[in-house]
Amino acid sequence: MALPAHLALEIVTPDRALVHDEVDEVQVPGTEGYFGVLPGHTPLLSMLQVGQLWYRKGVEKFYLSVAFGLAEVLPDRVVILAQVAERADEIDVDRAQAARQRAEQRLASPQRDLDLERARVSLMKALTRLNVATRARTRG
């Protein structure tokens, strides 16, 4: 059986569909680390971590910030079911910087009732959003 030439990529959240496209490559932030997918990849399921997802069409890369959910990989298709996902051009940089500062302040001076894991995840999300937004601005 011949390998597929492309991957059908779908990225959806509970609120909306973000991507439905044919792509050449995808990099996904799994809970065990980032993994790359090319056409013909072995089937797998992976939980998603907070991180940067990118996909490539030809020579152009597209970046998204994703957080939690599931990735299903098949030889000809990748389906990302994310709790939260944003395209690079949708990210409000000022809001992400404010979220980063709040999370850093919470972690720097923890209160008695502070949920440290929640503050750490908030910081990871903010940093990822800033990184993805920066990549979009420098790509052109």
- Residue 62 CB burial class (10 angstroms; 0-12, 13-18, ≥19): buried
Tell me which architecture the domain covering 7-88 has in CATH: Sandwich (2.60)
At 135 the pLDDT is 79
Give CA–CA dist 134/115, Å, rounded: 29
Quote the CATH superfamily of domain 91-139: ATP synthase delta/epsilon subunit, C-terminal domain (1.20.5.440)
Q: Where are the alpha helices (DSSP H) in the chain?
A: 93-108, 116-139
Looking at the whole model, is its pTM more than 0.75?
Answer: yes
Domain ranges of the chain: 7-88, 91-139
pLDDT along the chain (140 residues), means of 10: 89 96 97 96 96 95 95 98 93 87 82 74 86 70
Beta-strand pair 25-30/33-37: antiparallel
